[in-house]
């Protein structure tokens, strides 16, 4: 009971104060990420509120903050655009059909993430190599940057054109001012969130000087909306009447759902590991998967953008003293209060201020150290880092991470495949001993077979595995073929120093192997590593 209470409330004062700080910082980012996705900012705010509340209550990491994120937003864009185009083709009476497609997709996203948690797949984030993670964040930063360039365009006669002249210089000046405030303010004080301060100052200047600039409200009205209408999220009963509109487009919806689920889980579990390191405690990846999936289902049902864990906001919360679940709950409820009572104020936020905030997010997200280490790390790792960044921009985040993991796995397999060795010696009784060194698996079986000189070897052969391990079925098949070749020419062969685990694998594959295996104590120099921590996750 005491542990449960400590998880909920680390330090009441610190949790409440850090939660309020995070709530203030969540507003501009939720609105900005909604623009990245091309949807109503209120949907982004709803998404951040519901995601933050549910994951704070039931997630696997006290103190971790979830909400609307850029990683999820950049994946949603294509789905929303396609849904809107289908709505025009069908002359659908539903305004912004793509948004409702997103809500339907979030139901599948949530189901996938819940299943990932139930099947305990959260632990597999440990298999993501560091170069892949660096490439992931670099590609994400580039994608967010490119998405902001669209806000420097205006629709004129049905065509999107770049703004020019005084309008361009005014916007660039306001963007630069926002970035300067966000860079300088933390050096003076961290009491006020830098993003919030930048937005307030820029908004005050534009309102006070009467500058004719694009704002959140004007942007929504240009897109055919009626502006922000703050209120509680409402149940989206319409989505159940719109499944027919997806007919012929299920491939897009389901593929987007898998991508969103993968991106959300990857970013959340990486954030969880980071907060674990900062707090020197351990969270539950599988529990986080289930909580995040549940939150995305609720977002789909109640009209939120969906999302995942937020690296930046989680660090802000932890560094501000928010270590309990109460901090995330306060942040979510604080955000709801802004939605209910601050919608008219949010409408007055200049678009330039949001662009400035996102440019600073880009700068903070990009792993600048990757330039410094490129020449110091192995060429293969450098290639993976660059490739993942490029694939992220070219395709999407999930495909990039999967491709990076595959490339790293192939690199690892190749390096281990060429390491297998066989030292040879002759015993006093004339037995030839092959001392195998290195892992025997699918990548090394060909090299393993090439070590033996079956025709020229003496009558008795001993294959010593004291420095090796049979890792998979391909290794078993390789040993069986070698034994069969020696038996075919009438020679004797025994296998020595196999660990109990390897012996069990071989005898299970072929009971006849037992008579070729010489019993010995467990290999004193090699032990099977068991990940006992997985049982806790």
pLDDT at 454: 92
Residues 437 and 310 in one domain: no
**Percent of the chain beyond pLDDT 90?**
32
Give the pLDDT confidence of 239-286 residue by residue, as tens digits: 998 888 888 889 999 999 998 998 898 888 878 877 887 777 888 889
Collect all residues with Cβ–Cβ distance below 8 Å to 263 and sequence separation of at least 6.
71, 72, 75, 308, 396, 397, 398
SS3 content of the chain, % helix, strand, coil (to 5): 65, 10, 25
Asked whether residue 434 carries a pLDDT value surpassing 70, the answer given is: yes
Give the pLDDT confidence of 299-325 residue by residue, as tens digits: 999 999 999 998 777 877 887 678 889
Residues 236 and 351 in one domain: yes
pLDDT at 363: 86
Confidence tier at 520 by pLDDT (50, 70, 90): low
Asked whether residue 1 carries a pLDDT value surpassing 70, the answer given is: no
Confidence tier at 116 by pLDDT (50, 70, 90): very high
Give the pLDDT confidence of 173-198 residue by residue, as tens digits: 999 999 999 899 888 887 777 777 88
Question: What is the average per-residue pLDDT within 107-122?
Answer: 92
Q: Which of 2-11, 293-302, 354-363 has the highest mean pLDDT?
A: 293-302
Residues 50 and 105 in one domain: yes
Q: Which of 131-140, 396-405, 474-483 has the highest mean pLDDT?
A: 474-483
Structure tokens at 495: 């296998």
One-character DSSP codes across 40-64: -HHHHHHHHHHHHHHHHHHSSSTT-
Sheet strand arrangement including 432-440: 421-426, 432-440, 460-470, 492-496
Asked whether residue 371 carries a pLDDT value surpassing 80, the answer given is: yes
Kindly give the residue spans of alpha helices, DSSP state H, lying in 189-302: 194-208, 216-222, 250-279, 285-302
In a domain, residue 531? The reply is: no
In a domain, residue 407? The reply is: no
pLDDT at 333: 94
DSSP 215: B
CA-CA distance, 455 to 471, in Å (whole number)? Answer: 28
Asked whether residue 8 carries a pLDDT value surpassing 70, the answer given is: no
Asked whether residue 235 carries a pLDDT value surpassing 50, the answer given is: yes
Confidence tier at 448 by pLDDT (50, 70, 90): very high
Asked whether residue 60 carries a pLDDT value surpassing 60, the answer given is: yes
In a domain, residue 482? The reply is: yes
pLDDT at 530: 38
In a domain, residue 537? The reply is: no
Q: What is the pTM of this model?
A: 0.71
Residues 381 and 472 in one domain: no
* Domain finish residue from 337, 371, 402: 402
CATH number of the domain residue 425 falls in? 3.30.750.24
* Domain finish residue from 402, 430, 448: 402
Pairing of strands 460-470, 492-496: parallel
CA-CA distance, 76 to 464, in Å (whole number)? Answer: 56
In a domain, residue 524? The reply is: no
Residues 64 and 105 in one domain: yes
Residues 325 and 425 in one domain: no
Asked whether residue 412 carries a pLDDT value surpassing 60, the answer given is: yes
pLDDT at 296: 97
In a domain, residue 139? The reply is: yes
Question: What is the average per-residue pLDDT within 317-345?
Answer: 86
- On average, the pLDDT of the chain sits at 84
Q: Higher model confidence: residue 213 or residue 513?
A: 213
Residues 74 and 151 in one domain: yes
Residues 385 and 442 in one domain: no
Residues 56 and 204 in one domain: yes
Collect all residues with Cβ–Cβ distance below 8 Å to 249 and sequence separation of at least 6.
82, 86
* Total number of domains in the chain: 2
Asked whether residue 225 carries a pLDDT value surpassing 70, the answer given is: no
Asked whether residue 536 carries a pLDDT value surpassing 70, the answer given is: no
In a domain, residue 525? The reply is: no
Residues 353 and 423 in one domain: no
Asked whether residue 400 carries a pLDDT value surpassing 80, the answer given is: yes
Residues 139 and 254 in one domain: yes
Q: Higher model confidence: residue 103 or residue 525?
A: 103
Kindly give the residue spans of alpha helices, DSSP state H, lying in 150-249: 165-188, 194-208, 216-222
Instruction: Find the domain containing 511 and state its range.
Output: 418-516
Confidence tier at 222 by pLDDT (50, 70, 90): low
Give the pLDDT confidence of 69-93 residue by residue, as tens digits: 887 888 898 899 999 888 888 776 6
Residues 48 and 121 in one domain: yes
């Amino acid at each position: 009971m005491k542990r449960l209470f400590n998880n909920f409330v680390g330090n009441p004062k610190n949790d409440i104060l850090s939660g309020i700080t995070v709530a203030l910082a969540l507003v501009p980012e939720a609105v900005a990420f909604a623009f990245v996705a091309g949807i109503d900012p209120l949907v982004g705010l709803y998404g951040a509120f519901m995601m933050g509340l549910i994951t704070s209550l039931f997630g696997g990491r006290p103190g971790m903050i979830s909400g609307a994120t850029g990683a999820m937003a950049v994946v949603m864009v294509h789905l929303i655009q396609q849904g809107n185009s289908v709505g025009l083709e069908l002359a659908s009476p539903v305004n912004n059909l793509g948004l409702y497609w997103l809500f339907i997709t979030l139901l599948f996203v949530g189901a996938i993430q819940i299943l990932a948690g139930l099947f305990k797949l959260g632990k597999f984030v440990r298999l993501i190599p560091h170069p892949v993670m660096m490439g992931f964040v670099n590609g994400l930063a580039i994608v967010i940057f490119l998405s902001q360039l669209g806000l420097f365009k205006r629709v004129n006669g049905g065509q999107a054109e770049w703004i020019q002249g005084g309008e361009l210089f005014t916007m660039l000046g306001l963007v630069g001012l926002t970035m300067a405030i966000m860079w300088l303010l933390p050096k003076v004080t961290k009491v006020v969130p830098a993003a919030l301060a930048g937005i307030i100052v820029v908004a005050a200047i534009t309102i006070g000087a009467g500058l004719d600039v694009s704002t959140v409200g004007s942007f929504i009205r240009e897109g055919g909306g009626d502006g922000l209408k703050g209120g509680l999220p409402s149940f989206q009963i319409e989505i159940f009447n719109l499944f027919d509109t997806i007919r012929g487009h299920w491939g897009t919806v389901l593929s987007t759902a898998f991508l969103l689920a993968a991106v959300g889980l990857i970013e959340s579990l990486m954030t969880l590991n980071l907060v674990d390191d900062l707090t020197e405690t351990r969270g539950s990846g599988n529990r986080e998967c289930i909580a995040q999936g549940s939150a995305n289902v609720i977002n789909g049902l109640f009209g939120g953008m969906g999302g995942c864990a937020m690296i930046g906001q989680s660090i802000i919360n932890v560094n501000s003293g928010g270590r309990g679940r109460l901090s995330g709950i306060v942040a979510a409820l604080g955000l709801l209060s802004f939605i209910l009572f601050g919608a008219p104020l949010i409408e007055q936020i200049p678009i330039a201020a949001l662009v400035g905030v996102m440019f600073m997010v880009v700068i903070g997200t990009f792993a600048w150290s990757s330039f410094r280490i490129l020449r110091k790390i192995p060429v293969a790792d450098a290639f993976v880092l660059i490739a993942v960044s490029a694939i992220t921009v070219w395709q999407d985040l999930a495909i990039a991470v999967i491709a990076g993991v595959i490339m790293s796995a192939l690199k690892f397999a190749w390096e281990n495949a060429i390491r297998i060795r066989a030292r040879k010696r002759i015993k006093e009784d004339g037995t030839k001993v092959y001392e195998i060194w290195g892992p025997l698996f699918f990548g090394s079986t060909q090299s393993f077979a090439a070590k033996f000189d079956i025709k020229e070897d003496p009558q008795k052969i001993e294959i010593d595995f004291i420095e090796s391990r049979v890792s998979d079925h391909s290794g078993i098949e390789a040993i069986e073929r070698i034994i069969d070749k020696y038996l075919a020419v009438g020679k004797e062969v025994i296998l020595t120093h196999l660990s109990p685990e390897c012996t069990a694998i071989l005898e299970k594959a072929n009971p006849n192997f037992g008579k070729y295996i010489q019993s010995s104590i467990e290999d004193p120099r090699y032990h099977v590593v068991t990940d006992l921590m997985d049982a806790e996750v």
